[in-house]
Amino acid sequence: MKEILPGVFHWTRMHPKIGIEVSSYWLRPERVLLDPLVPDAGLDAFDEAPEHVLLTNRHHWRESDRFVERFGCTVWCSEPGLHEFADGREVRGFRFGDELPGGVLAIEIDGICPDETALFVARESGIVAVADGVIRDGEGPLRFVTDDFMGDDPPAVKNALRRAYGRLLDRRFDHLLLAHGCPWIGGARQALADFVQR
């Protein structure tokens, strides 16, 4: 785990099901995990116990069960995605616009799936976490996922995502935490604005 902002930790691991490297985050002051896999150092890497897991969409359960078992975390997902957990996993629903644990604000993205959520944290010049609509290769620019993940009408999905990300620009933020790719620390709002205009 690497501290990328005060109290914000990032790590990557190969996702055991999809076989690609994904990003997870620990917001220590908020006691909140975002889309977590267990870090390479294991659960002992956490010197304070996480209390909540926030999913940016229903597909990002990853290894949340390990955090529930060890720390008693509550897992949260937006209400349109709760059907994914009909198998008995305990997940609390939230509505877009709700303030979640740690003062995190849930913002509707939709577009690529109805439960696609951005999570906004007001501290450190503003932090936004996003799910699958926008990704990044290494230190490269923001880009869409490939069309085969965009459903039957990729151009319509891209337009919907551009509109949703355009609405995010009404907020003040400087950092972007990506579920797929390196976080963008400093200048992220401008990077997202450039992406929306492409």
Domain boundary assignment for the chain: 2-197
Three-class secondary structure of residue 49 per DSSP? coil
- In the CATH scheme, what architecture does the domain 2-197 have? 4-Layer Sandwich (3.60)
pLDDT tens by residue, 121-177: 999 899 999 998 999 988 899 999 888 888 889 999 999 999 999 999 999 999 999
Q: Are strands 184-185 and 175-178 parallel, antiparallel or unpaired?
A: antiparallel
Residue ranges of alpha helices (H) inside the chain are: 64-71, 154-168, 188-197
Q: Which of 121, 145, 143, 142 is nearest to 184 (CA)?
A: 142
pLDDT tens by residue, 83-115: 999 999 999 999 999 999 999 999 999 888 899
Q: Check pLDDT > 70 for residue 18.
A: no
- Record the pTM: 0.95
